[in-house]
């Protein structure tokens, strides 16, 4: 078991985050600070542009589900 290399940028962001992983993720899950799931997007690429316009300004936990492992990343949405 090893950590999957992953880049998420820009962070902080205002509308879109780009995600580059070395392993194909199956799902992207985004949770708010209260632990509520606010976005669940199936994916099947190693390079993803994720539109998060609908999220409010604040701090979120972005989880990449690879099927056999999960990585969690803190992302921050800022006003334009």
Q: For residue 15, what pLDDT is reported?
A: 96
Q: For residue 2, what pLDDT is reported?
A: 60
CA 78 to CA 72: how far, in whole Å? 20
Q: For residue 64, what pLDDT is reported?
A: 95
Widest pairwise Cα distance in the chain: 39
Is-contact 59 14, C-beta < 8 A?
no
Tell me the per-residue pLDDT of 48-78, one tens digit each, with 9 for 90 and over. 999 999 999 999 999 999 999 999 999 999 9
Q: For residue 78, what pLDDT is reported?
A: 97
Rounded to 5°, angle at Cα 60 from 37 and 80: 120
């Amino acid at each position: 078991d090893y950590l999957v290399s992953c880049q998420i940028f820009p962070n902080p962001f205002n509308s879109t985050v780009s995600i580059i992983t070395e392993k194909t993720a199956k799902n992207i899950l985004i949770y708010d600070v209260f632990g509520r799931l606010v976005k669940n997007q199936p994916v099947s690429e190693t390079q993803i542009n994720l539109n998060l316009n609908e999220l409010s300004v604040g701090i979120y936990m972005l989880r990449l589900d690879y099927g056999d492992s999960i990585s969690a990343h803190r992302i921050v949405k800022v006003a334009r």
